[in-house]
Amino acid sequence: MPLEDVIKLRKKIDKINQQLLELLNRRASLVLELAEIKRQHNIEMYDPVREAEQVEALLAKNEGPFCDASISQLFTQIFRASFDIQRGERDKILQVSRSFRSTDTVFKVGDVVIGEKPLLAAGPCAVESENQIEQIAAALAERGVKILRGGAHKPRTSPYSFQGLGDPGYRLLSAAARRHGLLTVSEVMDEKGVAAAAEHIDILQIGARNMSNFRLLEQVREAGKPVLLKRGIAATYEELLLAAEYLIVGTDRIILCERGIRTFEHMTRNTLDISAVPILRAMSHLPVCVDVSHAAGRRDIIAPLARAALAAGAQAVMVEVHPAPSFALSDSQQQLDLQAFDELLAAIKDLL
């Protein structure tokens, strides 16, 4: 019977799979013995010439049915795995991953608990003056917002656009926040600016353009401050988590931030990838924030995007609020005035 033949062949394949597993593990044990000898005698772990010669020797004996390319690929993977265990990397599990830590990361910044229940971070795109940031800080505190956002150094696409007040912007932001019992979050632009930002700002933000600036990530890591890490405009989820991994060896107080990605659509500034929220929460134990203002680039759809983000499981939403958006020095079209912000609060209060 054909079915009986299938069962017999599958059993043979299963037996060979077990034999292959045993042989691979025996090979790995020998690799570890070899690695110890190499360490004792200060011999280089990796010998690419020998690996190439091994592959060539195997290909010379290959009689099929696997083609040479498949054999080369299979053994290259075996050699790579062997090299990894020689270096002690038996389990390449990212510390930011859900596999490394099954429970959600929850941490306090001042009196604010992040990662437990949804929070709002709000404030202007840029700190423009003492009066402007004071007005917003006072209004947000009255409405129960805990985190004040505002840019001091603004990375702009055009060199002629408002670039921010620089380090004095950090000081104005911090002073207004302290007067009203708020935390601050603001972007760090480069390695030289980390110290100045860390002196005044509670949560250091890595912008989308700098997500893969690994030297900056290392500098921010050394500062020991909580970090809000924004996803790059064309970054995959894995790339965002790898960027976070640069930070986590110094601090696990990290917030992942989805802020829209670049697509062919021109009706919004970016395209909000709402699926990033549940996927990142499944992949990582770190809290997830959504910056709805930068995703939309327009104020009329901020409320439904915020609702979508919270419904998808976001632990924080970031939104831009300005006392007079029409006269804002940057991104005026995406900032809410206080009346619109009140409408947003009413629209999402059941999700907070």
Nearest to 226 by CA among 202, 195, 190, 196: 202
- With respect to residue 261, please indicate whether it lies within any of the assigned structural domains: yes
Quote the CA–CA distance of 238 and 244 in Å, as a whole number. Answer: 10
At residue 13, does pLDDT exceed 50? yes
**95 inside domain:** no
Establish if 102 belongs to a structural domain. no
- Has residue 301 been placed in a domain? yes
For residues 152 and 18, membership in a common domain is answered with: no
Task: Label residue 163 by pLDDT band (50, 70, 90).
Answer: confident
Residue 80 pLDDT grade (very low, low, confident, very high; cuts 50, 70, 90):
confident
* pLDDT on residue 82: 82
> For position 3, what pLDDT does the model report?
82
Q: Which residues contact 292 (CB under 8 A, 6 or more apart)?
A: 272, 302, 305, 306, 309, 317, 318, 319
Segments forming the whole domain that contains residue 205: 107-351
313 within 8 A of 288, measured Cβ to Cβ = yes
Give the count of domains, the chain.
2
Q: Are residues 120 and 254 in the same domain?
A: yes
Give CA 89 to chain center in angstroms. 23
The more confidently predicted of residues 152 and 47 is 152
Higher-confidence residue: 332 or 5?
332
For residues 228 and 251, the answer to whether their CB atoms sit within 8 Å is no
Residues 35 and 144 in one domain: no
The enclosing domain of 11 has a CATH number of 1.20.59.10
Per-residue pLDDT reduced to its tens digit, 175-218: 999 999 999 999 999 999 999 999 999 999 999 999 999 999 99
pLDDT score at 92: 66
Q: Percentage of the chain surpassing pLDDT 90? A: 77
> Which run of H or of E encompasses 199?
helix 194-200
Q: Look up the CATH number of the domain holding residue 204.
A: 3.20.20.70
Residue 97 lies in a domain: no
Looking at the structure, tell me whether residues 116 and 239 fall in a common domain: yes
Residue 292: pLDDT over 50? yes
Q: Are residues 286 and 235 in the same domain?
A: yes
Quote the tokens at residue 294: 């930068």
| Residue 94 counted as domain residue | no
Does 41 lie in the same domain as 134? no
Residue 114 resides in a domain: yes
pLDDT at 90: 45
pLDDT tens string 85-118: 877 654 568 999 999 999 999 999 999 999 999 9
Residue 93 belongs to a domain: no
Q: Is 181 left (phi over 0), alpha (psi -120 to 50) or beta?
A: left
Of 28-32, 46-50, 235-239, give the range with the top mean pLDDT: 235-239
Residues 118 and 36 in one domain: no
254-267 pLDDT, tens digit per residue, is 999 999 999 999 99
Percentage of residues of the chain with pLDDT beyond 70: 98
pLDDT at residue 40 greater than cutoff 60: yes
Q: Which of 86, 117, 141 is the last residue of a domain?
A: 86
What the block records as the tokens of 151 is 């840019």
Domain co-membership, 79 together with 116: no
Identity at 9, one-letter amino acid code: L
Distances (CA, A) of 15 to 11, 19, 21, 128, 302: 6, 6, 10, 71, 58
State the average pLDDT over residues 165-171.
Answer: 95
Quote the mean pLDDT of the chain.
93
Most confident of 164-168, 192-196, 278-282: 278-282
Whether residues 147 and 241 share a domain: the answer is yes
Helices 68-86 and 2-40: crossing angle in degrees, nearest 10, is 40
Burial annotation 208-234 (CB, 10 A radius, 16+ → b, else e): bebbbbeebbebbbebebbbbbbbbbe
